[in-house]
Amino acid sequence: MVTIKSKKEIEQMKEACRITGLLYREIEKVIRPGMTTLELDRYAEQVIRKNGGVPAQKGYPSGVKGVPNFPATLCVSINDEVIHGIPSSKTVLHDGDVVSIDCVVWKDGFHGDAARTFLVGKGSDEDKKLIEVTKQAFFEGIKQAKVGNRIGDISSTIGKFVESHGYSVVREFQGHGIGREMHEDPGIPNYGKPGRGLRLEPGMTLAIEPMVIAGRKDILQLDDGWTIITEDGTNAAHYENTILITEKEPEILTL
Terminal-residue alpha carbon distance, the chain: 27
Cα separation of 72 and 89, whole Å?
A: 12
- DSSP secondary structure, 81-104, as one string: EEE-PPP-TT-B--TT-EEEEEEE
C-alpha count within 13 angstroms, C-beta hemisphere, residue 239: 22
Identify the pLDDT of residue 62.
81
What's the DSSP call for residue 168? E
Averages of pLDDT over runs of 10 residues in the chain (255 residues) are 96 98 98 98 98 97 88 98 98 98 98 98 96 98 98 98 98 98 97 97 98 98 97 98 98 97
Domains, the chain:
7-252 (3.90.230.10)
CA dihedral 209, 210, 212, 218 (to 10 degrees): 80
* Interacting residues of 83 by C-beta distance below 8 A, sequence separation 6+: 75, 77, 100, 102, 170, 173, 211, 227, 228, 238
Identify the pLDDT of residue 66.
87
Q: Indicate the pTM of the whole model.
A: 0.97
Cα separation of 16 and 52, whole Å?
A: 9
Identify the pLDDT of residue 1.
86
